[in-house]
Amino acid sequence: MYKKIIRPLLFDYDPEKIHNFTINRLSGSLFPSLLKLFLSFEDKRLQRKVGRLTFRNPIGLAAGMDKNAVALAGWDAMGFGFAEAGTVTPLPQEGNPKPRMFRLPKYGGIINRLGFNNAGADEFEKNIEHVKKNLCNDFIVGVNLGKNKHTELDDAYQDYKFSFEKCFETADYFTINVSSPNTEGLRQLQQKKFLNEILSSLQKLNKELDTTFSDTMKDIYLKIAPDLTEAELDDILQVSIDNNITGIIATNTTISRDTLPEGIYETGGLSGKPLEPIANSVLKYIIKNTGNKLAVIACGGISSFDDVKEKLDLGASLVQIYTGLIYEGPGMIKKIKKQMIQNL
Ligand SMILES: Cc1cc2nc3c(=O)[nH]c(=O)nc-3n(C[C@H](O)[C@H](O)[C@H](O)COP(=O)(O)O)c2cc1C
């Protein structure tokens, strides 16, 4: 029904307008209740313990879909095991000029150059606090952190610390986003000296806040780009291990167009099917070179059970989906989970 009737209707309109329309529907209570009615399906055999958390199933919503954490009840109702809200920056910002989101229906891809449009950490935190009481107890909420556009790279760690502290009580885990291609200079934060400063200062804060508010530290994941050299990846993995973070999210969108036929494309990050082979080779590299020292949340190009299986078989602990949800519709999560059970 989604692919035959709803998708063709939605795809007639501007992608960002449809995105905002959908998020608005999901942030009310009617839509999540309806989704729950049709899509609820959990099975204890899908549970996974990763880091300090137990996920009811390994399928998560990737960051960027719910930038202000307003639709968490919707993702819970769709049957995701977890959702990563954000990217949130300390101060609100508008992002890049529109249009800035483009579908590539022929290739199952999307190009976006949104540039961290979001309402800022104050509002984000209030939103999570407000919806959290309506979520199932076993639904996990990750918070994806970024820096504001005008923050200098040398001061970037302060931005991450600010939002980390603000959301410490409400987040189940944190992701440090140093890999979006649409904020100038952001990916330079993947360099050893910046990365070490960010991760070490966050882990120090993590320890301090642990004693103040709760009885456990929070898991920290690092989200990386798919466009790194092996030497760059080696540095990132070493700094991650040295700082004792829980794992890596592989990957964010790519600036490469090598997996698309020759042509002229919009600038921005490419996601979906054309990203899949690139993201999978990064996943393979991480597993081969770190063993079980870092958990990996695999992301990039998932649109079916087979895609999930491939990533889990390669060694991922969990997976995340963004573009596949737009092409396949909300029913895909239940379908994948049922196939996972059949394949046990
Ligand atoms: C429109 C759009 C916006 C995104 N915004 C963010 C973001 O704010 N933060 C982030 O870490 N990743 C963001 N991403 C990247 C996704 O989280 C994901 O890493 C990437 O799209 C690959 O997964 P997919 O092929 O399933 O879409 C965005 C992706 C898209 C398509």
Residue-wise pLDDT for 183-209, tens only, equals 988 898 878 999 999 999 999 999 999
Q: Is pLDDT of 288 > 80? A: yes
The single-letter code of the amino acid at 171 is A
pLDDT of residue 24: 93
- How many whole angstroms from 256 Cα to the centroid of ligand 1? 15
Q: How confident is the model at residue 210 (pLDDT cuts 50, 70, 90)?
A: confident
Q: How confident is the model at residue 336 (pLDDT cuts 50, 70, 90)?
A: very high
Which residues make beta-bridge pairs with 93?
118
Q: In this structure, are residues 139 and 76 in contact, taking their beta carbons and an 8 Å threshold?
A: yes
Mutation test of ligand 1: which of 149, 322, 327, 336 has the most ligand atoms closer than 8 Å to its C-beta?
322
Angle, alpha carbons 27-64-198 (nearest 5°): 125
Mean pLDDT of 145-165: 96
**In terms of Cα–Cα distance, which of 268, 187, 269 is closest to 229?**
187
Query: SS3 for 265?
Result: coil
Q: How confident is the model at residue 213 (pLDDT cuts 50, 70, 90)?
A: low
Query: SS3 for 343?
Result: coil
CB within 6 Å of ligand 1 — which residues? 62-64, 67, 87, 101, 110, 112, 114, 144, 177, 180, 223, 252-253, 271-272, 275, 299-302, 321-324
- List of domains in the chain: 2-342 (3.20.20.70)
- Choose the catalytic residue: 27, 163, 179, 180: 180
Prediction pTM value:
0.97
pLDDT of residue 224: 97
pLDDT of residue 8: 82
DSSP of 304-317: SHHHHHHHHHTT-S
- 178 or 163, greater pLDDT: 163
Q: What is the mean pLDDT of the chain?
A: 94
Q: CA 341 to CA 148: how far, in whole Å?
A: 42
From the number of C-beta atoms within 10 Å of its C-beta (0-12, 13-18, 19+), residue 122 rates as middle
Mean pLDDT of 229-245: 96
Q: Is 180 a catalytic residue?
A: yes
191 sits in which H/E element? none
Distances (CA, A) of 115 to 91, 92, 140: 13, 12, 26
Q: In this structure, are residues 148 and 185 in contact, taking their beta carbons and an 8 Å threshold?
A: no
